[in-house]
């Protein structure tokens, strides 16, 4: 009988240690950090939500409003722009801020303790795109935030399952 209790105590101690280890990895802040450090998530936010959905497809800023050039009030490319771009930009098309791709490639994901932000190099020739169109050009619309919320919950759940599967 004594051996049984000894074995039981040993197994119990091992189980407690295992639970302590699992609990350390399941702290919500740590799980969220792992989720946000995933480069595929960062790429989804920058490339899919901001660049493709908002800028290229819709030509809108974080408020969902058309990109507006503060210098001239326009929301679309002009005939002059169409000529200067050899037709890559069409007169009347909404601004999408894609020319050489430098601005898009400069977008970076920055993770803080309890926030993230997107930043970019707004200098394009003699122009500052943030001054010309507002910093909202790299923000998320409500639609993008809603899609991100769903994406984050799925990734959080997946990360918890991954952690638990290691034990």
pLDDT over 50 (residue 1): no
pLDDT digits (tens, 9 = 90+) for 29-49: 889 999 999 999 999 999 999
Q: Mean pLDDT of all residues in the chain?
A: 90
Q: Could you tell me if 110 and 119 are in contact, meaning their C-beta atoms sit under 8 angstroms apart?
A: yes
C-alpha separations of 139 from 3, 31, 45, 111, 160 in Å = 64, 24, 10, 15, 28
Predicted pLDDT at 71: 95
Is the predicted pLDDT of residue 145 greater than 50, yes or no?
Answer: yes
Residue 167 CA to residue 164 CA, distance in Å, equals 6
Per-residue pLDDT at 112: 93
Contact 115, 121 (CB under 8 A): no
All structural domains of the chain with their residue ranges: 27-165
pLDDT tens digits, 70-100: 999 999 999 999 999 999 999 999 999 999 9
Question: pLDDT at position 9, please?
Answer: 52
Q: What is the pLDDT of residue 67?
A: 98
Q: What is the pLDDT of residue 59?
A: 97
Both tokens assigned to 26: 């399941």
Lowest average pLDDT, out of 43-47, 63-67, 110-114, goes to 110-114
> How many H helices and E strands in the chain?
7, 4
């Amino acid at each position: 009988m004594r051996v049984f209790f000894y074995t039981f105590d040993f197994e119990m101690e091992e189980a407690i240690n295992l639970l302590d280890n699992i609990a350390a990895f399941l702290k919500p802040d740590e799980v969220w950090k792992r989720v946000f450090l995933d480069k595929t998530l960062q790429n989804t936010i920058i490339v899919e939500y901001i660049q493709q959905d908002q800028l290229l497809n819709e030509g809108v800023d974080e408020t969902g409003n058309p990109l507006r050039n503060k210098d001239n009030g326009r929301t679309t490319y002009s005939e002059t722009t169409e000529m200067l771009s050899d037709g890559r930009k069409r007169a009347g098309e909404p601004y999408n801020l894609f020319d050489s791709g430098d601005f898009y490639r400069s977008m970076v994901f920055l993770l803080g303790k309890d926030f993230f932000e997107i930043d970019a190099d707004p200098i394009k020739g003699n122009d500052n795109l943030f001054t010309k169109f507002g910093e909202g050009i790299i923000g998320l619309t409500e639609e993008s935030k809603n899609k991100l919320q769903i994406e984050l919950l799925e990734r959080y759940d997946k990360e918890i399952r991954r952690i638990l599967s290691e034990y």
